[in-house]
A = this chain, B = another copy of it.
Amino acid sequence: MKQESLLEWPPMVRKLMCLAGLDDYDAEEVARRLPGETILRRRGADIISDGETPRYVHMVTSGLACRYKLLDDGRRQITAYLIPGDLCDLHVFILKRMDHAIMALTGTEIVQVPRQNVEALLARPTIATALFKSTLVDEAVLRQWIVNVGRRGAREAIAHLFCELHLRMQVVGLADGDVLQLPITQADLGDTVGLTPVHVNRSLQDLREQGLISLQAGRLSILNPAGLRRLAGFEPDYLHLDDGLRRLAKSSTRPDRHGQYLL
């Protein structure tokens, strides 16, 4: 099971290879430790509830989930998207109780990894560092998200979200060039950028009219990547992909397109 490129590895492994330059030896170890019982959640179902103390570490393997918080009066704010390869609750090793909930945004497959498997991974310094780096990047994404909601207008914020998802999907091998599956609701989008569903709708119209994207039937196509990034002010440095971008470009079937991010 030796491979030269990123291709063929499961999402989590791809992510760690891009992010932390994991070698094939460590990669194989990660791949070996991560399986567990698979559970399915349909759109809208909680994967982990607020206040809960999960017994396993959960990893998304297909579909799309989100972290979110609910206010008393029903307002909702999504604080992160979890795509295949993302761990839901590594922090429960230390924090005990969830201070937010996680739900499926589409039909989603989750693996319940036994804690001792994760502990075995953490015992290897290179892997522990890689996992730790990935949580630090999650933190950087949160900061960027605050900027998005606090200081960007509606179209900018949505555009930025799309740029980020595009790149993250590419990392785990789930983007087909410039199109990605994103079968979520405009209300969901609103809850992630702090807008009303109807305003999301109008903003999307805008982006479409400008020829930047198309979004239909749960497929997001980025028609003009450079334009979208310009509008959004998207600077991918906060994802700390560093030379992971180069690896990505090299292993891709369309190096020219991914190469754009190298600029």
Q: How far is the CA of A79 from the CA of B142 in the complex (A)?
A: 9
Q: A51: which B residues are within 8 A, CB to CB?
A: 237
The answer to whether the Cβ of A198 comes within 8 Å of any Cβ in the partner chain is: no
State the Cβ distance, A80 to closest chain B Cβ, in Å: 8
Q: Tell me if B79 and A146 are in contact (CB < 8 A).
A: yes
Q: Does A261 touch B at the CB level, under 8 Å?
A: no
CB contact between A95 and one of B71, B75, B94, B133 (< 8 Å): that residue = B133
A79-B143, A143-B79 in contact; A151/B233 too (CB < 8 A)?
no
Contact of A139 among B91, B150, B194, B233 (CB under 8 A): B91
Q: Which of B94, B129, B145 contacts A129 (CB 8 A)?
A: B94
Residue of B nearest to A134 (CB): B94
Q: Is the CB of B91 within 8 A of A136?
A: yes
Check A151 against B194 for contact (C-beta < 8 Å).
yes
Over the window 12-51 of chain A, the binary record of Cβ atoms lying under 8 Å from chain B Cβ atoms (1 yes, 0 no) is: 0000000000000000000000000000000000000001
Asked if A203 CB lies within 8 Å of chain B CBs, one says no
Q: Are B95 and A151 in contact (CB under 8 A)?
A: no
**What string of 1s and 0s marks CB contacts (under 8 Å) between A177-205 and chain B?**
00000000000000101100000000000
In the A-B complex, the 4 residue pairs with the closest CB atoms: A150-B194, A142-B142, A99-B238, A77-B147
